[in-house]
Amino acid sequence: MTARPPAGAHRATRQGRAIVAALRASPSFRSAQEIHAELCAGGQKTGLTTVYRHLQRLADDGAVDVLRQPEGDVMYRYCASDEHHHHIVCRECGRSAETDCPELSDWADRVAHSLGYSDVSHAVEVFGVCADCRAARR
Amino acid sequence: MTARPPAGAHRATRQGRAIVAALRASPSFRSAQEIHAELCAGGQKTGLTTVYRHLQRLADDGAVDVLRQPEGDVMYRYCASDEHHHHIVCRECGRSAETDCPELSDWADRVAHSLGYSDVSHAVEVFGVCADCRAARR
DNA sequence: GTCTAACTGAAAACGGTTATCATTTCGAAA
DNA sequence: TTTCGAAATGATAACCGTTTTCAGTTAGAC
Ligand SMILES: [Mn+2]
Ligand SMILES: [Mn+2]
Ligand SMILES: [Zn+2]
Ligand SMILES: [Zn+2]
């Protein structure tokens, strides 16, 4: 009886490394299509499907944060922190910064419970214009 | 010279009234497709395109609030208040309640400015399980 | 009643994402 | 080092909510 491998681990591939590298190199949230285009342009041939698959798994594993823009596109960013936190995203260039949110969690819990809701979670995104973009404007 | 009408006002139609009525009657956020199905089931023949058009205009006019669910579908709800506010949405049935957010605005402004961002806006949705759904569970 | 811009809705187009499936590749075990 | 099955890949097609198109209908000002 040939005891087969555990079957469940991730395998190291050129494409996976390239996708993680692209995410790590960017201070902004990026879409699957942007990453795909970037890899192709840089000579790293990779299927769009594969990019989607890796981003999805990275998100499931909690390695990247997912942001759904007001327009609907889903964007990903490699996060410095693995704690729960939120982002401030530049409306013009996409650059984002992270911030924690103790007061926010308290507020959400308090309000939700007072209205009879349990199992509370919250989604917060703050948008603005970053210093660079403001300078470039004028 | 026949002075033509102002050209810009909205016209009263059976379909428009039905859509507004459906929104007003619901305490939950509803999708365009849900509203369309409801109208058709109730004998109010209406094109899906028309539902989308009315919801879009109502949203532009600020008469309804727009919520993009984590899964991506866009949902609409007729709002009681025209002030800036946020929602607590039941993950199971969609029922929502409104809440204001003075502390939240302060938090967002403070954090954003400290990171160099201006023209700050924020999007917040709180999710939970409402009392009815919690009761129905067990 | 006339007239025109607003409105309607069936059908086709759109665009991002996911499913399919034949093929390739990784890597644990032999 | 060779083997071999699960994991990964990627071209293609399907999906699905939404938007566009366009020919026909209708509200409502005159
Ligand atoms: Mn983050
Ligand atoms: Mn509201
Ligand atoms: Zn910027
Ligand atoms: Zn509920």
Q: What is the CATH number of the domain that holds A5?
A: 1.10.10.10
Token digits of residue A67:
């942001």
Both A135 and A68 in one domain: the answer is no
Given this model, what pLDDT does residue B95 score? 87
* Structural domain of B13: 1-81
A4 three-class SS: coil
Q: Who's near B69: CB < 8 A, 6+ residues apart?
A: B75
Both B73 and B87 in one domain: the answer is no
Task: Using the mean position of ligand 4's atoms as its centre, give its distance from the Cα of residue A135 in Å.
Answer: 47
What's the mean per-residue pLDDT of chain B?
A: 89
Over residues B92-114, mean pLDDT: 88
Q: List pLDDT tens digits, range B17-36.
A: 999 999 999 989 999 999 99
Over residues B36-43, mean pLDDT: 97
Q: How far is A83 from chain B (nearest CA, A)?
A: 18
Given this model, what pLDDT does residue B42 score? 96
Mark the residues whose beta carbon lies below 5 A from ion ligand 3: A 90, 92-93, 95, 130, 133
Q: List pLDDT tens digits, range B123-137.
A: 888 989 999 999 997
Both A60 and A95 in one domain: the answer is no
Domain count along chain B = 2
Both A32 and A100 in one domain: the answer is no
Residues of chain A with pLDDT under 50: 1-7
- Whole-prediction pTM value? 0.82
What are the contacts of A3-9 at 24+ separation with CB within 8 A?
A: none
Q: Give yes or no for CB of A73 within 7 Å of strand C.
A: yes
Q: Last residue of some domain: B81, B99, B114?
A: B81
Q: Who's near B46: CB < 8 A, 6+ residues apart?
A: B15, B18, B19, B36, B39, B40
Length A18 CA → D5 C1' (Å): 26
* Chain Cα centroid distance, residue B126: 15
